[in-house]
C-alpha cells in the first residue's frame, strides 16, 4: 500500500511589493513578507499553504516542521499536539512588536501555536483533498455558497513610497474624500465588490468621517465599514459614530481594549445601534470568553484562519459566535493567492459568515500561484471544485518572490519604523485621536 | 466520472431486548427502539448509521430523507440546511413525552433538526471515509487516542420484566448495595471498565448513597459518578454530596433545571468542590450559552452526538467547553454497535474528552453489525482503521431486529407507563426525593 506519510516540509520566505498604505500604527513598508509551506508525502504528493513571513514565524515553523515527519496528512490532531508541545503559548522568542500587537494579531508571538498549526493544517487539508479527490471546501462540510463575496478594502495612502524603491502603484494618492471615492471606484470597477471597508485611524477623524460620507453618497446602498484600529478614544469613537448614523454596516475596533469597546457599546443603543466588530479584542478563545462574560459588547468577530488555528478552528469559532448570537466576518493581512484560496474554501463552508470578507488582494500586483492573479466575478471568488486547495505554486514565481525576500532587507513587519522615515517624530502612541 | 450522489435512503426501525432498568422516570420497557439508516449512492456504495427509533423520529426521518437525493456525501452543510428547512425547531409533531423530556433529551421533538442532521451526517461520513479510503476518525482530525475508554454503567434493576416476555438477563436483581457491587463486578470482569457510573434517582437516596459507598470500598481508586436524573431536591442533592465527599469524580444532574443546578453549585465549594455534570440542562447551544452567562454552575457537559447534531457538531461543543474552562464527557442511551462505533470514532478525535464515556452496551445482548458484539479490551474500544465507520450491517440481524420491532408493539419509549404496570400509583413526579 502506498504510504502518504509526510516526509519533508519546506518553508520558503517570500516578499512582494506592497503600496504605501496608512494605518493606525504607521505605514506599510515597500515589501510585505509571507512564507510558503510545501508538505511532501512519501508518495510524492505536495500540499501547499501561505502564511506569515516574519522572522519569529519562520523560527517557529523551522522548529516544529521536523516533528511532523511521518504523520499522515489526516493526523491534524496529532500535528496540533506536537506543535503545542514545541511552541510555548507565551512570547518567548521575541521582544519585538509593541504597539503592533493589537493592530496585527497575526504578528504576535502569543499566537504562535495557533499560527503554526494553521500553517500546517491548510497544507495537510490540501493533501487530504488530493487523496480523497475532494476540494478542501468538501472536507469542511461542503459549500454553503458557490462563490464568496469580498469587500473593497480602502486605505488612505501616499502616491509612492519614500525612496521610490519601484514604480508607483496605479491607485495614486488617497488622502482627500474625492481621492478616496476615486480609489473605491477604481477598485469596484476592477473587481465588482459590493461592500466597502475603510481602514481609518490614520488621518484626523473629521477627514475620515468626510471620506465615509462621500463614499456613502457615491455608492448609495453599498454596505460600509470603518476600522480605525483602536486609534480613537471612547469620546472620539462616539462622536464619529454619531456623525455616521445610518451609514455603517458595522463599526470595527474604534477604541482600544475590551474596556474601550465596552464603553463605546454602552452608548451605541442611542446612536443607531450599529454592532461593534473586532479583530483586536477577540483574537483567541480566551478573549472570546471574556467578551461573552461581559455580555458581548463586541457583536461581530472578524475571523482569520491564519491566527485562529486553521480552517477547522475557524468553523468552531463560527459555532461560538452562533451560540452567543454574534456575527462573523473575515479579516485579512497582505497576502497572495494561496491564502485567498484557503479563505475562499473556508468562507464557503461557514453558513454563518454572512458579511463580505476583507482582503488586501487588490493592493498586490504579483502572484505565487500557477495561472497568475485570481479572477473575481462581481466582487466574489468562485470556490474551486478541483481536489485540495485547487491552486498550485508557480516555481518561477516562488523563486522570484524568494529573491525579493533575500534582497529587500525586511525581516519583520514594522509600520511604525517605516512611518518615522516620513515623520521622525511619529510616536505611534494610541489612541492618537 | 462515477457519480457518488445519494440516490436512496432507507430507514429501518428495529427493536432489541432491554433489561428492566430503573431510573428517575420509571423503568425500561422490554424492548428498546432504534432505527438503522442506509444511504446509497449512484455508485452503489452504502453509508450506515444508527439513531433513535421512536415514532416521532421515524416521522421526521421519512419527511427529510427524500430531500437529500442528489446530494454528494460531502455536502453536509447542504444536508443540514435542507433538514432545517423541513424540520421546525419547536415541537410540532407530537405532544408526547412529559417528564421524559429532560431525562432523555434525544426523545424530545425540539431536538428534531439536530437529531435528523446527526442521523444523516454519520452515514454520509461513512460514505466519505469509503470514498477517501480513510476511517471516520481521520475525517474528524485523526485519532488523539488509539482506544476509547468507557465506563461501567450500573442500574438498579429488577430480576426480570413484568409479564416475563423472554428469558431473564444474566445480571439478576440489582437493588441492595451488595447486589450492585456484584453487578459492577460482573460488568468489570466482562469488559475491563476502569470507571463506574451509577444511574440513581430510582430508590430512596440513603440506599443509593449506601450503594456508592459500597462501590467506593469494593473498587478503591476507580472514578465513580452518580446520576439521579434531577430526581432530588436541592436539599437532598447537597445532603447526598456531603455523604459522598471524596468519592465522586463528578456529580451528574442531581437537581432539576439550571436553577436547581446553580443552587447546588453555589454550595459545593464547601463540600469537596466536585464538579456538576449534565446531559439535562445543557443539551443544546442555547442552553450552553445560558449556563455560561450564569458563570458556569455546570462544569462538565455530557455530549451525545445523536442529539447535538452530529460528530462535527460535538467537536464544536468541545471547543465551546474548552473556551469556558468546562469539561466534556459522553452520554448514551440504549444502543447497538453502529452507534457505539460512531461514538468511538468521535471520542478518539476529541482530545478534550477526558472522561470514560457512558455506554448502555453491556445491557444489550444482540447486535446489528457483521461479526456480532464488539469486543472491549481493558474497558476500551479500539478505533477502527478501515475506511468509513469500519462496521457493516448484518442483513440477517437487521431482518430479525426489524421483525422484533414489528411484533413488540412499542412505538415510543415510555418508562413511566411501564413503571405503572408495576406500581399503578407511580406518578413520575420529579424531584421525587
pLDDT tens for B52-75 read 999 999 999 999 999 999 999 999
| Whole-number Å distance between alpha carbons of B354 and A187 | 51
List the 178-217 stretch of A: residues with Cβ below 8 A of B: none
* Residue among A174, A208, A171 nearest A191 (CA): A171
Contact criterion met (CB < 8 Å) for A289 and B323? yes
Whether residues A339 and A231 share a domain: the answer is yes
Residue A46 forms part of a structural domain: yes
Whether residues B129 and B239 share a domain: the answer is no
Whether residues A120 and A145 share a domain: the answer is no
Residue B334 forms part of a structural domain: yes
- pLDDT at position A13 is 98
Find the residue in A nearest to B146 (Cα).
A78
Contact criterion met (CB < 8 Å) for B128 and A128? no
Contact criterion met (CB < 8 Å) for A322 and B134? no
Is A331 among the catalytic positions? yes
Whether residues B266 and B167 share a domain: the answer is yes
| Contact yes or no for B25/B100 (Cβ under 8 A) | yes
Whether residues A68 and A205 share a domain: the answer is no
pLDDT of residue B399 exceeding 80: yes
For B421-427, the CB contacts below 8 A with 24+ separation are: B421/B162, B421/B163, B422/B27, B422/B158, B422/B162, B426/B26
Shortest CA gap A293–chain B (Å): 6
Domain that holds residue A122: 6-134+396-408
Domains in chain B, number = 2
| Whole-number Å distance between alpha carbons of A429 and A24 | 9
Burial class of residue B119, CB neighbours in 10 A (0-12, 13-18, 19+): buried
Is the dihedral angle over the CA atoms A79, A80, A85, A89 positive or is it negative?
Answer: positive
| Whole-number Å distance between alpha carbons of A33 and A55 | 9
| Whole-number Å distance between alpha carbons of A413 and A201 | 19
Helix residue ranges per DSSP H, B294-336:
305-308, 311-323
Whether residues A127 and A154 share a domain: the answer is no
Whether residues A15 and A101 share a domain: the answer is yes
pLDDT tens for A409-430 read 999 999 999 999 999 999 999 9
pLDDT tens for A244-299 read 999 999 999 999 999 999 999 999 988 889 999 999 999 999 999 999 999 999 99
- pLDDT at position B88 is 75
Q: Which three cell numbers stand for residue A344?
A: 475562499
Find the residue in B nearest to A121 (Cα).
B141
Residue A431 forms part of a structural domain: no
CATH number of residue A362's parent domain? 3.20.20.120
A57 Cβ neighbours under 8 A, 6+ residues apart? A35, A51, A112, A115, A116
Please provide the average confidence, as pLDDT, over all residues in chain A.
95
List the 332-361 stretch of B: residues with Cβ below 8 A of A: 349, 351
Residue A426 forms part of a structural domain: no
**pLDDT-derived band at A101, boundaries 50, 70, 90:** very low
Return the axis-axis angle of helices B285-293 and B257-268, rounded to nearest 10°.
40
| Contact yes or no for A36/A341 (Cβ under 8 A) | no
Whether residues B23 and B40 share a domain: the answer is yes
Q: Which among B142, B312, B315 has the least Cβ separation from residue A78?
A: B142
Residue A421 forms part of a structural domain: no
Catalytic residue IDs of B? 199, 331
| Whole-number Å distance between alpha carbons of B220 and B240 | 19
- pLDDT at position B107 is 66
Contacts of A349 in chain B (CB under 8 A): 77
- pLDDT at position A1 is 65
pLDDT of residue A94 exceeding 80: no
Residue B429 forms part of a structural domain: no
pLDDT of residue B98 exceeding 50: no
- pLDDT at position B89 is 59
- pLDDT at position A312 is 98
Contact criterion met (CB < 8 Å) for B131 and A131? no
**Percent of chain B scoring above 70 in pLDDT:** 95
Q: Which among A128, A286, A319 has the least Cβ separation from residue B316?
A: A319
For A392-397, the CB contacts below 8 A with 24+ separation are: A392/A48, A393/A36, A393/A38, A393/A48, A393/A338, A393/A368, A393/A369, A394/A367, A394/A368, A394/A369, A394/A370, A397/A366, A397/A367, A397/A368, A397/A369
Q: Which three cell numbers stand for residue A330?
A: 473575515
Q: What number is the average pLDDT over the span B97-120?
A: 75
**pLDDT-derived band at A108, boundaries 50, 70, 90:** confident
Residue A292 forms part of a structural domain: yes
**pLDDT-derived band at B287, boundaries 50, 70, 90:** very high
Give kind and range of the element (H or E) at residue A115: helix A112-132
A134 close to B (CB below 8 A): yes
3-state secondary structure of B430: coil
A374 Cβ neighbours under 8 A, 6+ residues apart? A337, A340, A341, A361, A367, A381
Contact criterion met (CB < 8 Å) for B134 and A349? no
Q: What number is the average pLDDT over the span A53-79?
A: 98
Is the dihedral angle over the CA atoms B172, B175, B177, B178 positive or is it negative?
Answer: negative
8-state DSSP, B388: B
Helix residue ranges per DSSP H, B166-296:
177-191, 205-218, 234-243, 257-268, 285-293
Q: Which among B74, B138, B319 has the least Cβ separation from residue A142?
A: B74
Cα A197-A199-A201 angle, rounded to 5 deg: 140
8-state DSSP, A171: T
List the 72-131 stretch of B: residues with Cβ below 8 A of A: 72, 74-79, 81, 128, 131
Residue among A4, A331, A335, A345 flagged as catalytic: A331
Find the residue in A nearest to B293 (Cα).
A293
pLDDT of residue A154 exceeding 60: yes
Whether residues B161 and B103 share a domain: the answer is no
- DSSP per-residue string spanning A226-284: EE-TT-S-HHHHHHHHHHTTTTEEEEE--SSHHHHHHHHHHHHGGGT-PPEEESSS--S
CATH number of residue B72's parent domain? 3.30.390.10
Residue A48 forms part of a structural domain: yes
Whether residues A91 and A78 share a domain: the answer is yes
Whether residues B200 and B129 share a domain: the answer is no
Residue among A28, A111, A161, A199 flagged as catalytic: A199
Contact criterion met (CB < 8 Å) for A323 and B320? yes
pLDDT tens for A354-379 read 999 999 999 999 999 999 999 999 99
Whether residues A200 and A279 share a domain: the answer is yes
| Whole-number Å distance between alpha carbons of A373 and B62 | 47
* Residue among B54, B164, B137 nearest B100 (CA): B54
Contact criterion met (CB < 8 Å) for A351 and B78? no
pLDDT tens for B132-185 read 999 999 999 999 999 999 999 999 999 999 999 999 999 999 999 999 999 999
Amino acid at each position: 500500500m502506498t504510504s502518504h506519510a509526510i516526509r519533508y516540509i519546506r518553508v520558503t520566505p517570500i516578499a512582494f511589493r506592497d503600496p504605501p498604505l496608512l494605518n493606525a500604527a504607521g505605514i506599510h513598508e515597500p515589501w510585505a513578507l509571507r512564507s510558503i509551506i510545501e508538505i511532501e508525502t512519501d508518495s510524492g504528493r505536495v500540499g501547499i499553504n501561505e502564511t506569515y513571513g516574519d522572522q519569529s514565524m519562520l523560527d517557529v515553523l523551522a522548529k516544529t516542521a521536523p516533528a511532523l515527519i511521518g504523520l499522515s496528512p489526516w493526523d491534524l490532531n496529532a500535528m496540533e499536539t506536537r506543535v503545542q508541545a514545541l511552541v510555548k503559548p507565551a512570547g518567548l522568542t521575541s521582544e519585538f512588536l509593541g504597539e503592533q500587537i493589537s493592530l496585527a494579531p497575526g504578528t504576535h508571538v502569543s499566537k504562535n501555536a495557533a499560527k503554526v498549526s494553521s500553517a500546517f493544517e491548510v497544507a495537510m487539508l490540501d493533501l487530504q483533498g488530493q487523496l480523497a479527490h475532494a476540494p478542501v471546501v468538501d472536507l469542511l462540510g461542503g459549500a454553503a455558497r458557490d462563490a464568496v463575496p469580498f469587500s473593497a478594502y480602502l486605505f488612505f495612502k501616499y502616491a509612492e513610497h519614500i525612496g521610490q524603491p519601484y514604480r508607483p502603484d496605479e491607485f495614486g494618492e488617497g488622502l482627500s474624500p474625492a481621492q478616496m471615492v476615486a480609489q473605491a471606484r477604481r477598485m469596484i470597477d476592477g473587481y465588482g465588490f459590493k461592500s466597502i471597508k475603510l481602514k481609518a485611524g490614520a488621518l484626523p477623524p473629521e477627514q475620515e468621517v468626510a471620506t465615509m460620507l462621500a463614499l456613502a453618497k457615491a455608492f448609495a446602498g453599498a454596505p460600509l465599514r470603518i476600522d480605525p484600529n483602536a486609534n480613537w478614544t471612547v469620546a472620539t469613537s462616539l462622536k464619529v459614530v454619531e456623525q455616521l448614523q445610518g451609514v455603517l454596516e458595522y463599526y470595527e475596533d474604534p477604541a482600544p481594549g475590551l474596556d474601550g469597546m465596552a464603553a463605546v457599546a454602552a452608548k451605541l443603543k442611542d446612536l443607531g445601534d450599529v454592532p461593534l466588530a473586532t479583530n483586536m479584542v477577540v483574537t483567541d478563545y480566551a478573549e472570546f470568553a471574556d467578551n461573552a462574560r461581559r455580555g458581548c459588547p463586541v457583536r461581530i468577530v472578524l475571523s482569520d484562519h491564519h491566527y485562529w488555528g486553521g480552517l477547522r478552528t475557524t468553523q468552531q469559532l463560527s459555532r461560538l459566535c452562533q451560540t452567543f448570537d454574534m456575527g462573523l466576518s473575515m479579516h485579512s493581512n497582505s497576502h497572495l493567492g494561496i491564502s485567498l484560496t484557503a479563505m475562499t474554501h473556508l468562507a464557503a463552508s461557514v453558513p454563518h459568515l454572512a458579511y463580505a470578507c476583507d482582503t488586501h488582494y487588490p493592493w498586490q500586483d504579483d502572484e505565487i500561484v500557477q495561472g497568475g492573479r485570481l479572477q473575481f466575478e462581481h466582487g466574489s471568488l468562485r470556490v474551486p471544485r478541483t481536489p485540495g486547495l485547487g491552486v498550485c505554486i508557480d516555481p518561477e514565481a516562488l523563486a522570484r518572490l524568494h529573491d525579493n525576500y533575500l534582497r529587500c532587507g525586511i525581516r519583520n513587519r514594522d509600520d511604525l519604523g517605516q512611518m518615522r522615515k516620513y515623520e521622525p517624530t511619529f510616536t505611534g502612541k494610541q489612541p492618537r485621536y
